C-alpha cells in the first residue's frame, strides 16, 4: 500500500539553532500519528514543513505519491492535498460559520449539490446545528474548534494536520473533545498528523505515537509498544515509569 506521507531526511535550522535533525517517517492511509514532545522540540516546525508553510533545509517530502518538496522543487500549501487545524482556530472573523466552512470548497470549485451534502454531514458530525449563521466571535472556544475541524474536513483532504487543536480549551472540554475527536477521526479514517504535548491526548487519538525530542525521533510505535518497550529513558519517563 502506498504511504500517504513520506518524510525523508528532512531537517531545519533557524539561524544557529538546529531545530530538527534529519528525520524520516511514513504515514499509512487512514493512520493517525501523534507527534508527542515537550514545548519547543520542533513539532510545529515539522508540521509546517509538511503543510508547505515553511521550507525544509534538506530532505524530501512526498504526499499521496507526489513529491511536494525535493531540492528546489516545491509545491505551495494551497496545492497540497491536505488541510490544517490550528491551535488558535484561525477562523475568518468576518465570515459566518457556514461561510467559513464553505470557503475552501468554493475555492476548489466543489459542485453545489456536493457542497450541500458535505455541509449537512459535517453539521451533524461536529454538532454545529444552530451555529451555522453565527459569527465566530459568537461561538465558544469549543464550538470554534469544531468549526475549524469542519472547515478542514470540508475539502476532503488526503491528509489532515492538527497542531495542538485542543490546547486552548479548558480541561473539562479538552477531555470531552479528545474522545470525540478520536472517534470522529476513526470513523472518517483519514490520515492524520496530530501534534500534542499531552500524553493522554496522544494515547486517546493515536494509532502510532512519534516521540520527538531534541530534534530527533526517540521512538515511533503503537502506544502499547511505547509503554511496554520504551526505546529511551525519556520515553519511559513519558510513559510514567519512575526510576
Ligand atoms: P513546538 O511546536 O514543539 O513547541 P516549534 O516547532 O514551534 O516547537 O519551535 C521549535 C524551536 O524553533 C523553538 O526553539 C522555537 O523558538 C524555534 N523557532 C520556531 N519558529 C521559529 C522561527 N520562525 N524563527 C526562529 N526560531 C523559530
Ligand atoms: Mg507548537
pLDDT tens, 176-228? 888 888 888 888 889 999 999 999 999 999 999 999 999 999 999 999 999 99
* Distance (Å) from CA 175 to ligand 1 centroid: 27
Atom of ligand 1 nearest to the CA of 54: 23
Give the residue, 107 or 134, on which the prediction is more confident.
134
Mean pLDDT, the chain, rounded, equals 93
Is the sign of the CA dihedral 36, 41, 45, 49 positive or negative? negative
Protein residue closest via CA to atom 20 of ligand 1: 45
Ligand 1 atom nearest the C-alpha of 39 is 4
45 CA from centroid of ligand 1 (Å): 6
For residue 97 the three cell numbers come to 460559520
Burial of 202 (0-12, 13-18, 19+ CB in 10 A): buried
Q: If pLDDT is split at 50, 70 and 90, which confidence band does 242 have? A: low
Instruction: Read off the pTM.
Output: 0.92
Q: Give the distance (Å) from ligand 2 centre to CA of residue 172.
A: 22
CA distances 38 to 150, 227, 229, 235, Å, are 28, 18, 20, 12
Tell me, what's the pLDDT at 219?
97
User: Do residues 47 and 160 touch, judged by C-beta distance below 8 A?
Assistant: no
ipTM summary value: 0.98
Proximal ligand: closest to the CA of 16: 1
Give 59's contacts (C-beta < 8 A, 6+ positions apart): 7, 8, 9, 10, 11, 22, 24, 69
Q: What are phi and psi of 235, to 5 degrees?
A: -65, -40
CB of 41 shorter than 6 A to ligand 1? yes
Q: Which residue has the CA at smallest separation from atom 25 of ligand 1?
A: 14
Q: Tell me, in angstroms, the distance from the centre of ligand 1 to residue 42's CA.
A: 6
Amino acid at each position: 500500500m502506498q504511504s500517504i506521507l513520506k518524510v525523508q531526511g528532512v531537517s531545519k535550522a533557524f539561524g544557529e539553532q538546529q531545530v530538527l535533525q534529519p528525520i524520516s517517517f511514513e504515514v499509512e492511509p487512514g493512520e493517525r500519528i501523534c507527534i508527542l514532545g515537550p514545548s519547543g522540540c520542533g513539532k510545529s516546525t515539522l508540521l509546517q514543513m509538511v503543510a508547505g508553510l515553511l521550507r525544509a533545509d534538506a530532505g524530501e517530502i512526498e504526499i499521496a505519491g507526489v513529491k511536494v518538496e525535493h531540492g528546489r522543487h516545491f509545491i505551495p500549501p494551497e496545492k497540497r492535498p491536505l488541510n490544517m487545524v490550528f491551535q488558535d482556530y484561525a477562523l475568518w472573523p468576518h465570515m459566518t460559520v457556514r461561510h467559513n466552512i464553505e470557503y475552501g470548497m468554493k475555492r476548489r470549485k466543489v459542485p453545489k449539490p456536493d457542497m450541500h451534502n458535505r455541509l449537512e454531514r459535517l453539521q451533524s458530525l461536529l454538532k454545529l446545528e444552530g451555529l451555522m449563521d453565527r459569527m465566530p466571535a459568537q461561538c465558544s472556544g469549543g464550538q470554534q474548534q469544531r468549526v475549524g475541524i469542519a472547515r478542514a474536513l470540508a475539502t476532503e483532504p488526503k491528509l489532515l494536520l492538527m497542531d495542538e487543536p485542543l490546547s486552548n480549551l479548558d480541561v473539562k472540554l479538552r477531555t470531552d473533545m479528545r474522545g470525540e475527536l478520536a472517534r470522529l477521526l476513526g470513523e472518517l479514517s483519514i490520515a492524520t498528523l496530530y501534534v500534542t504535548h499531552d500524553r493522554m491526548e496522544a494515547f486517546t487519538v493515536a494509532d502510532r505515537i512519534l516521540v520527538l525530542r531534541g530534534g530527533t525521533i526517540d521512538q515511533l510505535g503503537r502506544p502499547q509498544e511505547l509503554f511496554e518497550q520504551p526505546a529511551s529513558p525519556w520515553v519511559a519517563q513519558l510513559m510514567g515509569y519512575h526510576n
